[in-house]
Amino acid sequence: MDIISGGVCAPKGFKANGIHCGIRKNKTKRDLALIVSEKICTSAAVYTTNLVKGAPLLLDMEHLKDGKAQAVICNSGNANTCNANGLEIASDMAKLVEEYTGVKENDVIVASTGVIGQPLSLEPIKNGMKELADGLGDNSKFASEAIMTTDLAEKEIAFSFEIGGKTCKIGGIAKGSGMIHPNMATMLVFITTDVAITSQMLSKALKTDIASTFNMLSIDGDTSTNDMVTVLANGMAENPVIDKEDENFAIFAKALNSLNIWLCKKIAGDGEGATKTLECITEGADTLEAAKKVAKSVVCSSLLKAAMFGADANWGRVLCAIGYSGADVDVTKVAVKFKSPKGEILVCENGAGVDFSEEKAKEILLENEIDILVSLGDGKFGATAWGCDLTYDYVKINGDYRT
């Protein structure tokens, strides 16, 4: 499997674009994205479990009942959420895609991100559609930029791999920086692939993978109202159709997992105000559920996140997070290490502190990427969770986000 360029345009038959249509006041920031496949795709999606859902998600649930889609349109800068006419606007966005691309409105996935509760006008979207559609091409980067909100960097990746002697590709773009604590959902992630796969197997691959990738990612503990991840597969690689859990399904699932992990790390590193990417790796749990609970509890701890910002080896906060994780753990067996490119240091063993060099620990924790290694000593299961540090800037960003 190789990393390649092209993002969502890397797979055969996909084009994309992103423009500034006028939703954002800053004319240098793109705010409308479009992804289109030459052919109808099998499709799958997973949505936020927040009871307050953006209108586009409600529309998408209807559009994807048949497991088919061919295009994605997404605006940023103003979320279509908690608006009285939200469903009408979402539906009109799909109709605009049909008008300017020929893709049937029922085969359009609609997404929206930005400030929640602000009225959203269709006018700038309508006015920008011709430019958006006319510019469709190898423009994954433009689409990636157009879905960003407080993100500081676009997030796009693509991989190539082989199935049945055919070269296949998968690409993805994502937005996510704050309000991220998914539960069977994620921020906004749009994935394209030219693999031939049934919608049932595509859905199985996606839902299975999310449990160990995006659901193990947390920036600030807030589950958004607009979160979704969707995959479009147009089959243009002409591999044998994947319709069961066989070797070919396993190859595709591995590619999807590699893409999602890459995006998870990028989102974690671009958390609002973040200066460090945190990765908690647990081992020795007696169940997979316990391993996941511990890993995610650690990266979600505000106290630990603050300690990592200050490069303070306060391992007691790791133990505290393990203790309230809900996992059945024998804390007298727990060991904790901190690791970075500057080295690795043991700070806790058998649930108690050990002598260690504070100077060395500080040096390790001053790096931009920190691993928190937790050994539970109870079994053979492990898990990984991703997050970031908690900084002054997070409060600054969210103190005046709307105004």
Structural domain containing residue 327: 277-399
Q: What is the pLDDT of residue 393?
A: 87
Say yes or no: 42 and 183 in one domain.
yes
Residue at 219: amino acid letter: I
- The count of C-alpha atoms lying within 13 angstroms of the C-alpha of 255, restricted to the half-sphere facing its C-beta, is 31
Q: What is the pLDDT of residue 177?
A: 67
What CA–CA distance (Å, rounded) separates 278 from 370?
A: 5
- Catalytic annotation, pick one of 186, 213, 225, 277: 186
> Which one of 269, 301, 330 terminates a domain?
269
Residue at 149: amino acid letter: T
Q: What is the pLDDT of residue 22?
A: 96
Say yes or no: 219 and 318 in one domain.
no
**Spans in the chain with pLDDT lower than 70:** 177-180, 182-186, 222-226, 401-403
Say yes or no: 10 and 35 in one domain.
yes
Q: How many angstroms separate the first and last alpha carbons of the chain?
A: 45
CATH number at residue 85: 3.60.70.12
Say yes or no: 6 and 145 in one domain.
yes
Q: Which residues of 213-224 are buried (b: 16+ CB within 10 A; e: fewer)?
A: bbbbbbbbeebb
Say yes or no: 68 and 217 in one domain.
yes
Residues in the chain: 403
What the block records as the tokens of 116 is 């929640």
What CA–CA distance (Å, rounded) separates 181 from 300?
A: 9
CATH number at residue 394: 3.10.20.340
What CA–CA distance (Å, rounded) separates 10 from 259?
A: 13
Say yes or no: 175 and 288 in one domain.
no
Give start and end residues of each alpha helix (H) in 71-215: 86-101, 123-134, 140-146, 199-210
Say yes or no: 63 and 125 in one domain.
yes
Q: Look up residue 246 and give its DSSP letter.
A: S
- The count of C-alpha atoms lying within 13 angstroms of the C-alpha of 27, restricted to the half-sphere facing its C-beta, is 0
Question: What total of structural domains would you count in the chain?
Answer: 2
Q: What is the pLDDT of residue 179?
A: 58
Say yes or no: 364 and 221 in one domain.
no
Residue with tokens 């084009």: 15
186 a catalytic residue = yes
Q: Render pLDDT for 35-83 as a digit per residue (tens, 0 to 9).
A: 999 999 999 999 877 777 788 999 999 999 999 999 999 999 998 988 8
Q: What is the pLDDT of residue 186?
A: 47
What CA–CA distance (Å, rounded) separates 189 from 94?
A: 18
Q: Look up residue 311 and give its DSSP letter.
A: T
> Which one of 247, 269, 291 terminates a domain?
269
Give start and end residues of each alpha helix (H) in 18-137: 55-63, 86-101, 123-134
Helix (H, G, I), strand (E, B) or coil at 355: coil
Of 111, 115, 99, nearest to 59 (Cα)? 111
Say yes or no: 212 and 291 in one domain.
no
Say yes or no: 362 and 300 in one domain.
yes
Say yes or no: 242 and 318 in one domain.
no
Say yes or no: 265 and 352 in one domain.
no
> Which one of 269, 302, 333 terminates a domain?
269
Report in angstroms the alpha-carbon separations of 107 from 68, 86, 88, 164, 343: 6, 19, 16, 29, 51
